[in-house]
Amino acid sequence: MSRERRPGAAGTRPSARGAHGRGARPLPAPGEWSIELIERYNGELARLAAGFGLDTYPIQIELITAEQMMDAYASIGMPTYYHHWSFGKHFLATEKRYKRGQMGLAYEIVINSDPCIAYLMEENTMTMQALVIAHAAYGHNSFFKNNYLFTTWTSAEGIIDYLLFARNYIAECEQRHGEQRVEELLDSCHALMNLGVDRYKRSSRLSLERERERQREREAFIQAQVNDLWRTLPAHEQVEAGEEPVRFPAEPQENLLYFVEKHAPLLEPWQREIVRIVRKIAQYFYPQRQTQVMNEGWACFWHYTLINALYDEGLLAEHFMIEFLQHHTNVIAQPPYDSPHYSGINPYALGFAMWRDLRRICERPDAEDREWFPEIAGSDWRTCLDFAMRNFKDESFIAQFLSPRLIRELRLFAVLDDDRQEHLRISAIHDARGYRAIRNALSLQYNLGNLEPDVQVWNADIRGDRSLTLRHRQTHRRPLHQATEEVLKHMARLWGFTVRLETLREDGSIELTGECRVEKRKGAR
């Protein structure tokens, strides 16, 4: 977002032609913010949010400089994180683009923690600060606290402590085993991070104390387990010749990091712990990747609703509103597909439009809405939005609530790209025949299972050469990209033995598509 320009002369005097209010004096809106003012604005926002029934974690606002914001960027917004060169790389990239003016810094970062931490940048005007508080401290915050993905998969109360534990533990490992080894291990873990999450199984809650306690027990225990698995004594004689060889694991394992942590034969206990740390953090971020549209849209909806409510009470000066609207429209702009600024569907725009539309369907439904959404048309909007916020993710939210009217407003159209055809084909547009197809296609576009390849652990040859076979289940003939070879190297580094990748095609044929050989015991770390 570009740096803001304040409209007109800013001063502390109340606007002369003061707004709609019944004689209410607007809050001062000078260019310069102050902590007292932030607290006053928050007081008003909190009152309104409570009135709307928003349920939030306690709020902790942190004031930071632009430089600190870039630091925060580099570590995915987390206030404390272990050290790794890749964060340095991100910092350098951000810094360069920021200093060149190619990008503004996002004006907010908010952390799914309890209390909910939101950063405010020193450079922002008072208007921006108020906007960010409404957006992050009420919008995102309430979403984090109530959406089922977050409540099921993340532990807001434990994350900061856990990150602290992770950082200290990794620093300790660096001292004991050398930065180089830890770095290599982290590189490999990061390569598998996006496939290092449980998609269906609920993970245990995070707690610093328990984590520390259990970490040592786990070390001893896991190591014992692993050793048992790789026992070299010929204890199992029941594998008869000709019989289908028993696979390990018996069922494919989708969580690659989990499998590595539990079963990689050569890892030392501290290495397993680091694998676990990366896995836990990946899991923590997993819901955010699945609720981008909903979450950002929800936050935009609420900053818009709350600030407008304040304005309607006469508490905001006109110049405040003009500045606010400028930022707001920037954030939710959706350039058309042929614009040079087009970079896909803007999740802020889509999300905001959907929540607004949902409210409209509740408050002022027309015949079409009654036909498409008989259950919610005309119902209480707060109940309806609350229900939708709690129980959906992007994919299902779009499948459920994208209305024909919005499809028309955004002029959505679906394009079928088949590399065997010479031309692209427009498969559906915003007309009566196309609504359902577009809704379906857009929903799939936010299905992570569709965006990421399905690669699972298929077999570890525990009786033979200990090689590991991953299986990629191909859909729509879509291949893995070129980086795959590199990723296999990382997998082999973790596994310690040869790693193969098979591709299961849609016609049922299986082909070896990648292999990373590891000579005996070499490269095992």
Partner 1 sequence: MFRVVDHRYDSRNKSAVNRQRFFRRFRAQIRRAVSDAITGRSITDIDAGEDISIPAKDLSEPQFGLGEGGVRENVYAGNDRFNAGDEVERPLAGQGEGRGGAGDGTGLEDDFVFHVSREEFLNLFFDDLALPDLVKKELARIPEHKLVRAGFSQTGVPANLNIVRSMRGALGRRTALAAPYRMRLQEAEQELAELVPVRGDDDDAVRALREEIAHLKTRIEAIPFIDSFDLRFNNRIRQPRPTTQAAMFCLMDVSGSMDEEKKEIAKRFFLLLYLFLRRNYENVDVVFIRHHTVASEVTEEEFFHSRESGGTVVSSALKLMHEIIRDRYSSGAWNLYGAQASDGDNWDNDSPVCRDLLIDAIVPLVQYFAYVEIAAGEPQNLWREYLRVAARSPRFAMQRIGDLTDIYPVFRELFRKKAAA
Q: Please report, as residue ranges, which positions from 176 to 195 form the binding site for partner 1 (by CB under 8 A).
A: 179, 183, 187, 190-195
> Residue 103: helix, strand or coil by DSSP?
coil
Among residues 236, 252, 156, the alpha carbon closest in space to that of 199 is found at 252
Amino acid occupying residue 306: L
Q: Does 71 bind partner 1 (CB under 8 A)?
A: yes
Q: Does 509 bind partner 1 (CB under 8 A)?
A: no
Binding residues for partner 1, rule CB under 8 A, total 98
Provide the 8-state DSSP code for 198. Answer: -
Interface map 338-357 toward partner 1 (x if CB under 8 A): xxxxxxxx------------
Least Cβ distance, residue 146 to partner 1 (angstroms)? 18
> Residue 502: helix, strand or coil by DSSP?
strand
**Among the listed residues 213, 312, 371, 452, the single contact to partner 1 using CB under 8 A:** 452
Part of the chain binding partner 1 (CB under 8 A), chosen from 157-165, 261-269, 369-377, 405-413: 405-413
Part of the chain binding partner 1 (CB under 8 A), chosen from 149-157, 288-296, 366-374, 451-459: 451-459
**Among the listed residues 26, 158, 351, 453, the single contact to partner 1 using CB under 8 A:** 453
Q: Does 487 bind partner 1 (CB under 8 A)?
A: yes
Least Cβ distance, residue 113 to partner 1 (angstroms)? 13
Cα gap 465→461, rounded to integer Å: 6
Least Cβ distance, residue 483 to partner 1 (angstroms)? 4
**Among the listed residues 213, 371, 417, 511, the single contact to partner 1 using CB under 8 A:** 417
- For residue 113, what are the CA distances in angstroms to 58, 60, 140, 256, 281? 9, 10, 11, 27, 13
- Residues between 19 and 38 that touch partner 1 (CB under 8 A): 35, 38
Q: Give the pair of three-digit tokens for residue 321.
A: 């509103």
Cα gap 358→387, rounded to integer Å: 11
- Residues between 420 and 439 that touch partner 1 (CB under 8 A): 423-431, 433-434, 438
CB-CB contact of 2 with 330 (8 Å): yes
**Among the listed residues 173, 293, 376, 441, the single contact to partner 1 using CB under 8 A:** 441
Cα gap 446→149, rounded to integer Å: 15
Return the bridge partners of 456, or none: 471
In the bound state with partner 1, the residue whose beta carbon lies nearer, of 17 and 341, is: 341
Cα gap 509→503, rounded to integer Å: 8
Q: Does 444 bind partner 1 (CB under 8 A)?
A: yes
Provide the 8-state DSSP code for 247. Answer: P
Q: Give the pair of three-digit tokens for residue 289.
A: 């990747």
Amino acid occupying residue 411: R
Q: Does 151 bind partner 1 (CB under 8 A)?
A: no
Q: Give the pair of three-digit tokens for residue 351.
A: 């999300």
Least Cβ distance, residue 403 to partner 1 (angstroms)? 15
Q: Does 413 bind partner 1 (CB under 8 A)?
A: yes
Distance between start and end Cα atoms, the chain: 44
Q: Does 75 bind partner 1 (CB under 8 A)?
A: yes
In the bound state with partner 1, the residue whose beta carbon lies nearer, of 20 and 99, is: 99
Cis amide linkage into residue 365, ω under 30° from 0: no
CA 309 centroid distance within chain: 30
Least Cβ distance, residue 370 to partner 1 (angstroms)? 26
- Residues between 194 and 233 that touch partner 1 (CB under 8 A): 194-195
**Among the listed residues 87, 148, 248, 285, the single contact to partner 1 using CB under 8 A:** 87
| The length of the chain, given as a count of residues | 525
Q: Does 52 bind partner 1 (CB under 8 A)?
A: no
Q: Does 451 bind partner 1 (CB under 8 A)?
A: yes
Cα gap 350→407, rounded to integer Å: 10
CB-CB contact of 471 with 493 (8 Å): no
Q: Does 419 bind partner 1 (CB under 8 A)?
A: yes
In the bound state with partner 1, the residue whose beta carbon lies nearer, of 9 and 35, is: 35
**Among the listed residues 16, 235, 241, 483, the single contact to partner 1 using CB under 8 A:** 483
- Residues between 305 and 344 that touch partner 1 (CB under 8 A): 334-344
Query: Which residue has 């269906």 as its token pair?
Result: 200
Least Cβ distance, residue 76 to partner 1 (angstroms)? 12
Nearest 10 degrees: CA dihedral of 375, 380, 386, 387? -20
Least Cβ distance, residue 447 to partner 1 (angstroms)? 12
CA 346 centroid distance within chain: 15
